[in-house]
Each structure stands twice: as structure tokens, then as C-alpha cells.
Amino acid sequence: MTDNTFEALGLNSGLMSALKVAGYDKPTPIQAKAIPHVMKGADLLGIAQTGTGKTAAFALPILHRLAENRVAPKPRTTRCLVLSPTRELATQIADSFKQYGQHLGFRVAVVFGGVKYGGQERAMQQGLDILVAAPGRLLDHIQQKTLDLSSTEIFVLDEADQMLDLGFIKPIRQVVSRLPARRQNLFFSATMPSEIGKLAGELLQDPIKVQVTPQATTVERIKQSVIWVEQGRKRALLTELFSDPSYTRCLVFTKTKHGADKVAAYLEAGGVEAGAIHGNKSQPQRERALEAFKNGKLRVLVATDIAARGIDVDKVTHVVNFELPYVPESYVHRIGRTARAGEKGTAISFVAGDEMKLLKDIEKVTRQKIPMTDRRNDKALAQLDASIMAAGVAAKATLPEREPRKGEGEGNRGRNRRRNELRPSGGGQPHRVRKGGRPGEVVDAPKREYDPMASERPKTPREPKVREPAPVGEIKRRPRRPSNGGKGFGKAKQA
């Protein structure tokens, strides 16, 4: 393709109008490479991550094909099925289909766990053109016979490597066993571990392979720096950064979920509007925190790698690595959250003694030397830390509740949890507690079920529990809680 324009791709005119409104001038590399083949019905193996424009790379040609061959979908069927590992991502993908297909009149729905079945069943009852689904709830619907995949024409598996991480490989195989043999398959993964390669080999027929590596260009647009500081001073340093008003929308990455909570609480005590997003937060809490971040009510979102993956927020001004990731590629993913869509961005990494080695690895992989400032033994940080600690102690009631100690009663725990649910940092708007329900149970999460975000990296991915009749079933797992979640920062070590 010499002429890199959407016009040259020959997309449906309705799609072209939507692209104009979206302000997309030209296809991204993965779009230019993939769209012509997918439009012709070929299978595709896309090695690409979020941020490359991969959603439009499959959504545009799928919408084009469905529009070329318009048929009314039969009740409880879908013409196209997209499998996505998380609810957030599934929702974003469905929104993209709706946005690009706004002039085509297609029926698009999204299904995932943690919400009531009724609305999803009603949407599928009429028949769908496009269904975006997380695997667990999809299998439930298949089993309940509220969805039949036997006439699905196009199957998309997105973020396959994350599916593997979350223990979804067997559920995916169960879904695939319900699809007709004759279909188009599109398979996307950021990395290709051997098990994912094997799955791709089973699913795809003579696929076109498209690989894009956006890192180099993205990384070049990001102003990167490193600050050498004691581990115990990082939180004060972080708070200090926010005295700069240009930090309007900042993502902070921590290694652990518990760490994310502690950093967010500390920032709040220091007067910076912050929220945390990770696998131990409920779905409504995550959605509220994300929404507050998007609409500017929160200046900071503190996240773990997995929780942040797939979250698409524009205009992130700064990314701060509170701790460096173990894998250099994660550094590139993290800082790629800023400088999206041609904007400029800043990435700052805090490095304490033992993280120097991680920094060296990152510099090797990204082939650059990141400028470093030394803020060790900085008295101003020590003072700031002491004053925020004092403010935090004074406002202890507003800090995240710790988990109950062994032997503490359920009643007390319920009260703490309820109070916690109503805290703004618990995720924005308070939500109601079901009268007579379990402590902490919330009205908008009527059924506790498998939540892919609840476990950052399950040690032994649990297979779905098979209900009658086999072979499909559902997975139920209680989200793990942090072992000492919310001890606040009273016990923080001084370096």
C-alpha cells in the first residue's frame, strides 16, 4: 500500500464519516497492514498492544464486512464475537464498535460478570451483530442457552497473552468449541509465549501475520528522568511533585496492590486528590475511580501494571514509576500511557538502591541513558514527610480501613467496610449497602463471581467448575484481599 489513507483502503462510506468525526487522519501502521486482509476475510495474527490502534484495526474491517453482507441476526445469536480478558477492555472495545459503526445501525452489546443477567439476556434475545464478552459470563450465557454461537461469522480473540495470565485458556477453548468450523479468526496478543503460539496455531488458518512495535517512536516523545531517593522518602517526593500545577493527570505505578492503596492514601493526606485502581477494588469502585480520573476530579490514579493494562485515558500528562517494574518491557508499556496521540508527556522514575539494576536493564532495552537527579539525604523531603504523617494521623478516620485483625468480629469488620465504601477515595460516589446483606455487600454487585481483575497473577489458574450439562461452566472465586491492606503509613520504614 503506497497511499496510506483510509480512502485508499476502500472502507464503507458510513465508516469514513465516523472516522472523520473521530479525527483520524490516517491509518496507524497496524491498521494499514491489517485492514486490507481482514476486509477480504483472511485470518489474522496481530502482535500488538493497546495504544497501537489495534481496536480499529479489527473493528473497521469487521464493520465493513458485516455491512457488505447485511443479514438480520437470528435471536440469541451474534454475527461477530470478540473475546476480551477484562470488563474495562470489553467496554472500550464495544464503545469503539459503536463509535465507528454509528451510521451503520448495527446491534452491539457487551457482556461481563458482576452485573445482572437480565439486561444482557434482553440484548441477546433480539440477535446481535457484534458481541464483546469476557469469557466467564459468556460461558454462563451459553450454558443458560441465552446465546448460541453456531452462526458466528467472525471471531476475535483480543489480548491473548493476558487471557493466559488470567487462566482463561480452557474457557476460551470451550467457547471456540461452540463456534462453527467455517469462520474468520482474528487473534491479537502483545507477546507470544509458547502456549499462546500453540493456541494461535490451533485457531488460525493461513493467517496474515502483522507485528507492530510502537515503543521506539512513543518513547522518543516522552521526557524521561530518574530520581535517586531512599525508598522511605519516595512518598514525600511524589507529593512534592504535585506542587507543580502542570501535573494535571498523572498515573503512578506501584509494584503491589497494597502499595497502591498506601500511596493514594498518603497523597490524599498531603492534599492531592488521588485514587487507587487494582484487582482488590470492586468493579464499581474501579469504574468510579477511572471516571473521576478521566473527568479531572482526581489528579492522580495509582495503579498496578495489570489494573492499568487496557485502560485508555487520553491526555495523561505524567507517568510516575513509584517503583520500577521487574520487566523492562513493562517500563515501556507504563510510560506509553502518556504522550498518546502525538501529545508530549513526561515520565519520572523513583529509584532506590536495589532498583539500580532494574534501571540498567531498562536502559539496555530502550537503548538510552535516562538522566538522573540525586535526592538522597534531602532534608526538605524528610520535613515534608513528617508534616504529611502528622496530617495523616490527625485525619486517621479518612485513611483506608485496615483489614480486621485475627479474632475481630464480623460486625466490626462490616462497619469498617461500610464506612470505607462511603469514602471518596473508595472510588468517588458512595454506593449503597444492601439492607440485611452481607457486610460490605453493595447493591450494584448482586452476585460475587469470578473477576479477572481480582487476581493480579493467579498462581494456579483454576479451571471452570462444570455445572450440568457439561462442557461449559462458570468460575467462582472470592477476590483475594491484601494481607495487611490499609495499615496506613503509620508503620512505614524510614530509609
| Footprint of ligand AMP (CB under 6 A) | 24, 27-28, 31, 50-56, 312, 341
Ordered strands of the 250-253 beta sheet? 274-277, 300-303, 250-253, 318-321, 345-351, 222-228, 372-374
Least distance (Å) from ligand AMP to the CB of residue 16? 12
Q: How far is the CB of 163 from ligand AMP (least distance, A)?
A: 17
Beta bridge partners of 348: 225, 320
Q: Which CB sits closer to ligand AMP, 50 or 349? A: 50
Which is closer to ligand AMP, CB of 50 or CB of 120?
A: 50
Cell numbers found for residue 481: 484481599
CB of 26 to ligand AMP, least distance (A): 6
Q: Are strands 300-303 and 274-277 parallel, antiparallel or unpaired?
A: parallel
Which of 148, 91, 142 shows the shortest CA–CA distance to 114? Answer: 91
Q: Are strands 465-466 and 473-474 parallel, antiparallel or unpaired?
A: antiparallel
The rounded distance, in Å, linking the Cα atoms of 305 and 338 is: 15
CB of 35 to ligand AMP, least distance (A): 10
Nearer to ligand AMP, 315 or 419 (CB): 315
Judge contact between 312 and 52, C-beta under 8 A.
no
What is the β-pairing status of strands 473-474 and 154-157?
unpaired
User: For residue 201, with 0-12 CB atoms within 10 Å meaning exposed, 13-18 middle and 19 or more buried, which class applies?
Assistant: exposed
β-strand 222-228 against 184-189: which pairing, if any?
unpaired
- Taking the least distance from each CB to ligand AMP, the nearer of 313 and 382 is 313
| CA–CA dist 159, 257 (Å, integer) | 22
CB 122 to ligand AMP: min, Å: 28
Q: Where would I find the H helices in 24-85?
A: 29-39, 54-68
- The DSSP bridge partners found for residue 130 are 80, 108
- Closer CB to ligand AMP, 167 or 214, in the complex: 214
Say which residues have a Cβ less than 8 Å from residue 169's Cβ, sequence separation at least 6.
163, 195, 199, 461
User: 310 vs 325, which CB is nearer to ligand AMP?
Assistant: 310
Least gap, CB of 362 to ligand AMP (angstroms):
23
**Minimum distance from residue 134 beta carbon to ligand AMP (Å):** 17
- Cβ-based nearer residue to ligand AMP, 46 or 427: 46
**Residue appearing with cell numbers 479531572:** 296
- CA dist 30 and 214 (Å) reads 10
Give min distance, CB of 50 to ligand AMP, in A.
4
CB neighbour class for 119 (10 Å; exposed up to 12, middle 13-18, buried from 19): exposed
- Whose Cβ is closer to ligand AMP: residue 54's or residue 281's? 54
Q: How far is the CB of 318 from ligand AMP (least distance, A)?
A: 18
Our CB check for ligand AMP shows the closer of 56 and 104 to be 56
